Structure 1
Amino acid sequence: MTGWLVAAVLLMAGGLGPALWLAARGDAIGRLAGLQLAGPVTVLTLLLLVQAYGPSSAVILPLVLTVLAFAGTLLFIRLLGTTE
């Protein structure tokens, strides 16, 4: 097991687990914070996995996910504003 894989596993356990728990529970602001935390942690995890396994062309996936995570956050905020 390489250092890249160890770093990816530690990041998934230490960052993605709490982010998903926060996004699944609590009030709307807490879920938004979990969503905001899950996006960058997922991107970093995918970059580490690309460094460990994949070809350099696979870097496109984390970069697209960065844009989609930002758009998803804007949509979530928009939907929060309509429920009040």
Structure 2
Amino acid sequence: MSNDELKVFLKYLFAFLWLAAWDGAWLIGMTLGLAFSGNPDASSPLEWVQFGLTISPLLLIGALPIVILLRNRSKQTAKKNSPGESDW
């Protein structure tokens, strides 16, 4: 793996982990908000956890085509440019 490929891989890995962390923070925030709201009509925190565990993988899987398209685009751009003129 070349140095440029490693940089691109690390950027996509960081973006993937950032999305996963944001999704986890949203789930924790919603769960705590419902747990301490005192509203008896609100969904239980367990339902929000189940919802989050269901939707989180779907959001991450949904992001994969975007990552693949961006990766292919960056490869095409790298082929057009000289090694020193990469977009990254």
> The TM-score by the shorter chain falls in which range?
0.5 to 0.7
Match 2:55 to one of 68, 73, 84: 68
Instruction: In structure 2, list runs of 5 or more residues that go unmatched.
Output: 1-10, 73-88
The answer on 1:80 being equivalent to 2:64 is no
Identity, in percent, stands at 5
The answer on 1:36 being equivalent to 2:20 is yes
* Corresponding letter in the other structure for 2:54: V
Instruction: In structure 1, list runs of 5 or more residues that go unmatched.
Output: 1-26
TM-score (norm 1): 0.53
What is the root-mean-square deviation of aligned Cα atoms in Å? 2.5
Q: Which has the larger share of helix?
A: 1
Equivalent pairs counted in the alignment come to 59
Structure with larger Rg: 2
The 3 A distance-change label for structure 1 pair 56 and 37 is: farther
Q: Secondary structure at the match of 1:55?
A: coil
CA deviations over 1:18-71 (Å, ceiling 9, x no partner):
xxxxxxxxx433222111101111111111111101337513345323322221
Divergent runs of 4+, >6 A? none
